[in-house]
Homo-oligomer: A and B are copies of this chain.
Amino acid sequence: MRRSDASRRAILLAAFELVGEVGYAKLTIEGIAARAGVGKQTIYRWWPSKGAVLFDAFLALSEDPQGDPALPDTGDLEADLKLVLRATVAELSDPRYDAPMRALTAAMLNDPALAAEYEQRLDAPMRALKRARLRSAQEAGQLPSEADLDLAVDLLWSPLMRRWLERAELTPAFADAVVETALAGLRAR
């Protein structure tokens, strides 16, 4: 018998639900197996760690039928970025996503292999999209052509991440301020 897709789905779903209910620290392989109605071996056979299961659960989520993954491009960079960063703020504030994301972040913090896979399969593509939108702005003359786009991405998004990570205040207004100041800096040089 080849790999059972039903089991695979059940495991990923169980992992995702459980991490939301009990947190990453109390997430166990046994718990996932029990909730998924699956033998432990079936998990160990296909994943090296609970972090990897969690990661796949995320992958499955982000590969779900979602429309155009590209960032909006109305021609107005500042407006588009405010839109996107406000959406990011909303997502980070949603408790449905907060717990699993924290869990995944914790998993990666102490598992370089997992972090590498995350970087490659989730983070890099996302950053590529962001860079693409900025490059389009360069071509439209809204950003200097010498601007360092990697720096720009960090300047724009990492303040949000910092506040989320440390559970500090994270508002749409803050997102706007970040966009305005960062863009001003990028344009000024």
Contact = CB atoms under 8 A, between A and B. Distances in A.
**Helix, strand, loop or mixed for chain A's interface?**
helix
Given A109-B165, A119-B168, A181 B159 contact: no
Given A162-B161, A184-B184, A102 B110 contact: yes
Interface residues of A, number: 44
B188 A184 contact: yes
**How many identical subunits does the complex contain?**
4
B151 A159 contact: yes
A59 interface: no
B109 A106 contact: yes
Interface stretch (A8-16, A62-70, A86-94, A172-180): A172-180
Interface in A11-40: 23-25
A126 to B, nearest CB: 12
Given A158-B158, A188-B188, A181 B110 contact: no
B123 A166 contact: yes
Contact of A109 (B102, B148, B151): B102
Contact of A163 (B115, B154, B182, B189): B154
A186 interface: yes
A165 B104 CA distance: 13
A57 interface: no
Contacts of A166: 108, 115, 118-119, 123
25 contacts: A24-B109, A24-B110, A25-B111, A103-B110, A106-B106, A106-B109, A106-B110, A108-B166, A115-B166, A115-B167, A116-B167, A119-B166, A148-B177, A148-B181, A154-B159, A154-B162, A155-B155, A155-B159, A157-B162, A158-B158, A181-B182, A182-B185, A185-B185, A185-B186, A187-B188
